[in-house]
Amino acid sequence: MALLNPSLLRLLICLIPIFYVWKCLSSPLRKCPGPWSSLFTSWILKWHEFHANRTRYVHHLHVLYGPVVRIAPNEVSFASLEGIKEIYCSGGSGYDKTEFYNLFQVYGRRTMFSTLNKADHAKRKRILADRYANTNIMRPVVLDGIKERSLRFIGRCSESVGGTVDLFICLHDYAFDCITHHLFHPYGSDSLLKQGDEEIMKEVTFDESLKNRLLQYYHPELHKLIGNILHYFAKPRQTPLADNLVLGASSRTEPAQFTLLSRMQEKNYNLEQLDMAAECLDHMAAGIDTTGDALCFLMWEISQPNMIHVQQRLQEELRDNPDVEFDRLPYLDAVVLEGLRCFPAIPMSLPRYVPNGGRTIDGFFVPGGTIVSCQAYSTQRIDQNVFPNPDTFNPDRWLEERGDLDRKRLFFAFASGGRGCVGKHLALAEMKTLLRDVYTRFKTVPDETMKPEMMQMSDQLISSQPREQKCLMRLVPLQN
């Protein structure tokens, strides 16, 4: 009955905020640089997340406060080599993932990407990594599949001469066809030629579930409570066409030997069909978004009037070396690296939990259970001794011997450590093959209706797309 005493209730109501403030002020994170508000609330960060602006907001804080910045009462962002090494590479695979990655479960199953602890991830990676090894990617049967799809992309380009082509659509078609070829050929997509397959790509690419999925992560009980009406305001992720493709393909027998499905179907791994389908859909979605968006941003950038010298120099290298393999062309490599530096396929934070007992990261003690992360957009910009004029697209920086090791260490476009992007070699092969085929044949010029703000980065759940989800380009055939 004492709890019903009005005076006692008022006292408790007063003590709760006082205790919360005391807890925040006594937190070890108070010593980390950051806006004062981030010591008490995460709502400013969440506001930017819900408005597809987290990456730029976090980077803005790094510009203001340096390579270590507190962004919420229990979250710190790092943009330093020390942060990368400790969070993602210590012990081989770094710290365990947070529940944020629960959002990437497929069919209720954990994929390699959505496993939270290192042991489960290592077990699945031992099965899958073989098909993404550079030795497998460089096999003629794999490269021929990429080249075939690149030439289909060139066909689209040739048809558009005299008009415009939407690179955003065509590049995502290309990425879709390449990744499904690698996952389960001959049962993959043909979206550069077939409208029905292109609709599958659009279903995955034109996703509007960001707000719904963020609410599911931050407030799962509220999400369950209002889920039936939430879809009127924030759409859930629904991909029935992609589901049909993947579930059908993963149930087929005798996929090509080089494919991921072939590897997973080996009897000694004992993977259930739904687990194989989940991995395939996860890799498919990632392969479409990352390669498609990265190529789109890159080709837009080198098509600007002030970047025409980059196109010309790239075309010269390609013209003078027609028989040289794509991985032996230094300027092509520099253009791709600079594109991934300025427009990383996954620019956003990759959150991890600090282990029990806490850790000292880049000179700051961070308690166990704190969320820590790095984001490629910042690690590849913030240190101007390594990346002078970081907002300027300059492939030449990758051709300089001086500082080469430091640049490579801070290059985070494919993450780092044992949980880094397993598809790195496939993505690079796809990007370089297509760029070679395009710029040996065409000059690319933005359509006059395209404005820079239309190509501003808009965050998805973990990747980023052009804000308007289109990139209209004119392709001008080169003279022999």
pLDDT in tens, 162-180: 999 999 999 999 999 999 9
**pLDDT number for residue 259:** 97
CA–CA dist 112, 132 (Å, integer): 13
Q: Which of 437, 409, 421 is nearest to 289 (CA)?
A: 421
CA distances from 236 to 111, 174, 221 (A): 20, 26, 16
Kind of pairing, strands 371-374 and 352-353? antiparallel
CA–CA dist 424, 249 (Å, integer): 24
In DSSP notation, 323-377 reads TS-GGG-HHHHHHHHHHHHHS-SS-SB--EEPPTT-EEETTEEE-TT-EEEEBHH
Contact 201, 172 (CB under 8 A): yes
Domain spans of the chain, in order of start: 32-477
SS3 content of the chain, % helix, strand, coil (to 5): 55, 10, 35
**pLDDT number for residue 1:** 47
Q: Which residues are annotated as a binding site?
A: 421
Here the tokens at position 231 are: 């879809």
CA–CA dist 339, 329 (Å, integer): 16
CATH code 1.10.630.10 for 32-477: yes
Residues 6+ away with beta carbon under 8 Å from 201: 172, 173, 176, 189, 191, 288
Contact 259, 185 (CB under 8 A): yes
Helix (H) or strand (E) holding 118: helix 118-132
Cα angle 453-454-458, degrees, rounded to a multiple of 5: 90
Query: Counting every residue, how long is the chain?
Result: 480
Phi-psi region of 66 (alpha: psi -120 to 50; beta: other; left: phi over 0): left
Q: Which residues are annotated as a binding site for heme?
A: 421
CA–CA dist 394, 399 (Å, integer): 10
Q: Which of 300, 308, 329, 278 is nearest to 432 (CA)?
A: 329
CA–CA dist 87, 274 (Å, integer): 32
**pLDDT number for residue 331:** 98
Q: Which of 83, 19, 37, 53 is nearest to 373 (CA)?
A: 83
Q: Which pLDDT tens digits describe the chain residue by residue (480 residues)? A: 455 577 777 767 776 777 667 777 778 999 999 999 999 999 999 999 999 999 999 999 999 999 999 999 999 999 999 999 999 999 878 899 999 999 999 999 999 999 999 899 999 999 999 999 999 999 999 999 999 999 999 999 999 999 999 999 999 999 999 999 999 999 999 999 999 999 999 999 998 888 888 888 888 888 777 777 777 666 778 899 999 999 999 999 999 999 999 999 998 899 999 999 999 999 999 999 999 999 999 999 999 999 999 999 999 999 999 999 999 999 999 999 999 999 998 999 999 999 999 999 999 999 999 999 999 999 999 999 999 999 999 999 999 999 999 999 999 999 999 999 999 999 999 999 999 999 999 999 999 999 999 999 999 888 889 999 999 999 999 986
CA–CA dist 116, 273 (Å, integer): 22
Taking only Cα atoms into account, the Rg of the chain, rounded to an integer number of angstroms, comes to 24
**pLDDT number for residue 461:** 80
In DSSP notation, 173-214 reads HHHHHHHHHHHHTTS---TTT-HHHHHHHHHHHS---HHHHH
Q: What are the pLDDT digits (tens) for 324-369?
A: 999 999 999 999 999 999 999 899 999 999 999 999 999 999 999 9
Q: How many CB atoms lie within 10 A of CB 274?
A: 15
Residues 6+ away with beta carbon under 8 Å from 163: 474
Q: How many CB atoms lie within 10 A of CB 440?
A: 15
Here the tokens at position 306 are: 């002030």
Q: What is the pTM of this model?
A: 0.94
